[in-house]
Amino acid sequence: MTLKKELGAREQIAAVVAGAIILSGIIYWGYQFVVMLEFLEMAYG
């Protein structure tokens, strides 16, 4: 019972941290993509 409860906490932490990493990753690479598009627009019109 206690083991199950402990695993529950670990699962929650893992889900939150993993979710935050995935979200930050999408924002970071999305931002890099936009910067690149703007640069290409400037370079090639």
Distance, in Å, from the CA atom of 30 to the CA atom of 42, rounded to the nearest integer, reads 19
DSSP-assigned letter for residue 45: -
Q: Which of 27, 34, 36, 38 binds another protein (CB under 8 A)?
A: 36
Phi, psi of 17 (to 5 degrees): -65, -45
Q: How far is the CB of 2 from another protein (least distance, A)?
A: 13
Residue 43 touching another protein (CB under 8 A) = yes
Site string for another protein, 1-30 (x = CB under 8 A): --xx--x--xx-xxx-xxx-xx--x--xx-
Q: How far is the CB of 44 from another protein (least distance, A)?
A: 8
Structure tokens at 26: 């999408």
